[in-house]
Every structure is written in structure tokens, then in C-alpha cells.
Amino acid sequence: MFENMDFSKMGEMLQKAQEDAKKMQEESANKEFSAKSGGGLVKVSASGAGEIVDIMIDDSLLEDKDSMQILLISAVNDVLKMVEDDKKLAASKMLGGLGGMPGFGQ
């Protein structure tokens, strides 16, 4: 199992993996995701860090609190799912990048 491992390079590989992870995290935090509901009556935007950064509600919903709440919840859930999916994709790419390290990505 360990016969082809070069332990002298393990530290370098782990350090590079940490640097790559930090870079991906920073890139992800700078992304912005948006989701709409109700045919665009509600739009919610979030940063890659999962923070809601903007909410747009069409004036026509201001008189209909129940509809506004339903559409707002839907848009928030959709945008947070986008953020989570992006994080999973980044983690998958990072783990795939460890393919050169014995025992990873094989």
C-alpha cells in the first residue's frame, strides 16, 4: 500500500493543497448568485459565502403579504442551494486535484 509513496514530498503536496483550498474559498466568496421566484417578482442575491446581499420585491406584492412571503422563501432557498452546490463543486475539484497524491483521487 505504501510502497510507491514518496514521503519527502508529502509536506509539499499538503501545503499546495491548503493553498489551493484557500484560493478556491476566496474565489467562491467573491461570486454572486441570484435566484428569482414568481416569474421574477422576487429576486434574491447571495455571495459565495452564503450571505444574502440583495433582495428585490416587485411593488405588486406589497399588498399581498402571504404571496410575498412564499415567493421570498422560495427564492432564498434556491439561491442558498446554488451557493451550497458551488461549494460542493469546488470541494470536488480540489479533491480531484489531489489525484497526484497516493491514496487520493484514485
**Separation CA 79–CA 12 (nearest Å):** 37
How confident is the model over 15-23, as a mean pLDDT? Answer: 79
* Bridge partner list, 55: 44
pLDDT of 105 strictly over 60: no
Question: What are the CA-CA distances from residue 16 to residues 10, 24, 85, 87, 102 (Å)?
Answer: 10, 12, 24, 19, 15
pLDDT of 14 strictly over 80: no
> How is the chain split into domains, by residue range?
31-97
Q: Which residue, among 28, 32, 34, has the nearest Cα to 76 in the 3D structure?
A: 34
3.30.1310.10, 3.40.50.20, 2.60.260.20, 3.30.590.10: CATH of 31-97: 3.30.1310.10
Encode pLDDT of 39-84 as tens digits. Answer: 999 999 999 989 999 999 999 999 999 999 999 999 999 999 999 9
pTM of this structure? 0.70
Better-predicted residue by pLDDT, 40 or 9: 40
Helices (H) and strands (E) in the chain, counts: 2, 3
Work out the pLDDT band at 106, boundaries 50, 70, 90: very low
